[in-house]
Structure 1
Amino acid sequence: MTALRSRPARVAAIVLSLVLGLAAAVAWLNVRGEEDPSAAAAARAPTPELLARGAYLARAGNCAACHTDRGGAAYAGGKGIATPFGTVYAGNLTPDRETGIGAWSAADFWRALHHGRSRDGRLLYPAFPYPDYTLVTREDSDALYAFLRSQAPVRQATRAHDLRFPYNTQAALAVWRALFFSPATFHPEAAKSAEWNRGAYLVRGLGHCQACHAPRNAFGATQEDRELGGGLIPLQNWYAPSLAAPGEAGVQGWSGEEIVRLLKDGTSARGATVGPMAEVVFGSTQHLEDKDLWAIASFLRELPQQAPPARASEPASRDVLALGEKIYQDRCAECHGAQGEGRGSAYPALAGHRTVTMGSSANLVKVILGGGFPPTTGGNPRPYGMPPFGQSLNDDEVAAVASFVRGAWGNPASRVTALDVQRLR
């Protein structure tokens, strides 16, 4: 009888030991490699050269895109970033001591970038892309810190994140980090050129391209085994095409000049940037030095090619294609040509266009619904835009014209359904 009574106690003790062991492992995984910020050396004096370097790096990382709310002060935060788990609000990066980073040291700032931990010890949500920023060097981190500290302080408290349970708990975030994040350091590849390594550093680190151009798992973590392999941007419903697949956005067959022009001007003979990528060009890449744009081009051209995910291919019915052709001739042919041949650089050809033919129809539908607007840049100050048709065409009509374009003039892509359109509105 004594043995029978002690068995549940032994099982409970084993379970408790396992739980405590897992908790200890999660705790250790969340602090490994961290230094005590209070023991770090003082930051470098903010020389004009350091401030200019920091301003450039802030552009390269497109920091203002998230940390400046519409109509708000630069870098004062407050912008909501929608995720499948709720809304995360960007923090105040101005040097206000109470609501910004005025009380932060350079080591505190480095810990946020490299380890994803705030000055007060809180774990940061990866909507702030520290899984990519962890590759940023301490030298660049210090330059960014100096630049942000030079901004005018703005007293604006960061709004509390609006996340569902259990995603709003530090415990859940600690488990996520234990599973999907580890601090890393950028190590140049000896077999590659200095230019390629510079491009790899910018793309994988400060540029955080993987944050959009990679698929995510059910827990919101990017799938590292498909680097830059394309993914639907959560809740925005734009598809960030694969940079490793020539049939999507891969540039392995492009010249360096074509890639640089696209990143600098937002347009090239191969096409133009619209949607979220147009915002990146406007706020970030058009401001980069040519040598860095060439470095990015060098890295992207040598990406190992990946096959895009297989997608079901089903043709549209004759009635749908007939409706789509009529809409196309009435509303689209004047600019894009009766045979989808386009008109110069202003109106792209749709015959063979990758946005039209790739497996995901999301971007084509988004452009039909909301219009297509390349960014205003120094090299393209007056870009041509495409008007939206979301108010004048219903879901069936948008699906019909998208299906027609995806199957006409030798385009091999499958149909688009009204349900597809409804999901993307």
Structure 2
Amino acid sequence: MGRWRKYIIGICTIAVVGLIGAACFFFWPHGLPDVQASKAQPTGAELVARGEYLTVAADCAACHTTKDGKPFAGGLAFKLPFGTIYSPNITPDKTNGIGDWSDAEFVRAMRSGVGRHGEDLYPAFPYTSYALLSTDDILAVRAYLTTLAAVSEPAPENALAFPFNQRPLMRGWKLLFMPRAPFKSDPDKDKTWNDGAYLVEALAHCGECHTPRGLMFQRKQGLALSGGDVDGWKAWNITSDKEYGLGDWSDEQIADMLSAGHAKDRGVAAGPMREAIDLSLSKLPKSDIDAIVAYLRTVPAVTGEPDHKAIRRKEDELTAGSTEASADTQPGKQIYAGACASCHGWNGEGQFNPRAAILGGHALSDPTASNVVRVVLQGSSDHEAAPGKTMPSFAKIYSDEDVASLANYVVEHFSGRKGTVTADQVSQAR
């Protein structure tokens, strides 16, 4: 009996110690980092200019500005399987923005995902990438944000289901998936490559969209940059794989896609990628684009599902009468003839504008046609195009059945694959 008593006491002691340890881990207040700019950090107007460049490269406006909303005032909804998260106001307003934040609090948020009041932030904010940023660059971003017009608008409260609304649980997530140190240059690589690595992995946070997610919403590092999903849009494989990624693209094609949103024989960007190009990548200097290209060339190749390989019919097969539409895509062919061919052409090379050249894009050979459906429903922005030369939304013109038939016809016509879109899927995408 005495031996069992010792066992029970021992187990209880371990349990109590474990509970105390867990309580400390999940609820002990976060400390503030010791923040100090390096001697190389510029000051004054030069610092603000550096911060503006970094803010654009990080595409902060895309997530912190709603459609027709005030710049950087937050409120953009991120709809996730377990609820909705809203981006915060990052203008210098002292009540609803970051006007009263200290430098240390701002650095902690960017690098550790911790809010001003010690609350753990959700990784819809890409701090797993921003953790790689240098302290100087984070402080430069803050310096620029303080020059913006203050907007006194609070962001809506997050609406998350239990247990995802329990922020302390994010500490366990961070322990598993957060980087441990800022980016370090590879001494065996040249400056161009290192600049590209910093842009792709940290500042432009490409992996947040182009890397698939696991069950815990973590990026699957073994599949880095092999393609992901963003609000129903597919972000394609950008590894060096020659069949599924960018391995057989020329440097010029990659650079054109990044800076202009379209490339000869590679189609056009749309959806979140189009927005990233419009608001960020198109505004970067050529040296940055060249650096990104240089780095992407060395990203380990990752293959994908057979249906994710971009294919297309031969040029002489891409005419109005070359592809016999099946019974379920015949209505789609008629819609394409009346609403699409005048801009895109039957061969997909674009009639009047290179931005209408869709031939060669991954989206046209994807049987799920998820991106095609969303382009038809939402249209495609292009801040550089003249009025009347952007892709309009057809959501109010065509029914779910019409859009499904059109999307399936587009896949069938340009790639020879059979599209699998249903009217129900179109309805869900609206």
| Aligned pairs (5 A) from 1:317-356 | 318-338=326-346, 340=348, 342-343=350-351, 345-346=353-354, 348=356, 352-356=360-364
Look up the SS of the partner of 1:232 in the other structure: strand
Please give the TM-score of this superposition, normalised by the length of structure 2. Answer: 0.83
Counterpart position of 2:301: 305
Q: Is 2:252 aligned against 1:268? A: no
Equivalence map 1:14-163=2 (5 Å):
14-22=14-22, 36-37=32-33, 39-41=34-36, 46-163=43-160
Pick closer, same or farther for the CA change 1:41–1:356 going to 2, 3 Å.
closer
List gaps (5 residues or longer) in structure 2: 310-323
**Bigger mean CA deviation after superposition, 59-68 or 352-361:** 352-361
Match of 2:225 among 228, 237, 247: 228
| Contact 2:367–2:421 (Cα < 8 Å) also in 1 | no
Distance 1:344 1:358 in 2: 26
Instruction: For residue 328 of structure 2, give the secondary structure of its aligned residue in structure 1.
Output: helix
- Between 1:184-193 and 1:92-101, the stretch displaced more is 92-101
Where 1:264 maps in the other structure, the secondary structure is helix
Question: Which letter maps to 2:383?
Answer: T
Q: 2:408 aligns with which of 383, 392, 403?
A: 403
Moved more, 202-211 or 253-262: 253-262
Secondary structure, aligned partner of 1:88: strand
Per-residue deviation, residues 65-113 of structure 1 (Å, max 9, x unmatched): 2223444443333333333332223223233334332332222221111
| CA shift digits 1:366-392 (9 cap, x unpaired) | 122333x24223xx5557333333333
The answer (yes or no) to whether the contact 1:247–1:354 under 8 Å persists in 2 is no
Residue 281 of structure 1: aligned partner: 277
The residue correspondences of 1:8-19 to structure 2 (distance < 5 A) are 10-19=10-19
- Cα distance in 2 for residues equivalent to 1:410 and 1:115: 45
In 2, the alpha carbon distance for the partners of 1:347 and 1:278 equals 11
Would you say how many aligned residue pairs link Structure 1 and Structure 2?
Answer: 412
Contact 2:344 2:358 in 1 (8 A): yes
Q: Is the 8 A contact 1:374 1:385 kept in 2?
A: yes
Q: Which amino acid aligns with 1:309?
A: E
Q: How far apart, in 2, do the equivalents of 1:133 and 1:318 lie? A: 49
SS at match of 1:332: helix
Q: Residue type matched to 2:86 in 1?
A: Y
Residue 388 of structure 1 pairs with residue 393 of structure 2:
yes
Which residue does 2:313 correspond to in 1?
none
Gaps of 5+ in 1: none
Q: Deviations over 1:11-51 (max 9, x none)?
A: 444444444455556679x96xx7x44x5448978411111
SS of the residue corresponding to residue 410 of structure 2 reads helix
CA change 1:317–1:75 in 2 (3 A) is closer
TM-score (norm 1): 0.84
Contact kept? 1:210, 1:227, Cα under 8 Å:
yes
Asked if 1:365 corresponds to 2:373, the answer is: yes
Q: Deviations over 1:295-329 (max 9, x none)?
A: 1122223322221235599xx99422444334433
CA distance in 2, matches of 1:334, 1:71: 30
SS at match of 1:82: strand
Q: Which amino acid aligns with 1:110?
A: V
Q: Is the 8 A contact 1:69 1:78 kept in 2?
A: yes
Are residues 246 and 312 of structure 1, via their aligned partners in 2, closer, same or farther at CA, if it must alter by over 3 Å? closer
For 1:405 and 1:423, how far apart are their aligned partners in 2? 20
1:184 aligns with 2:154: no
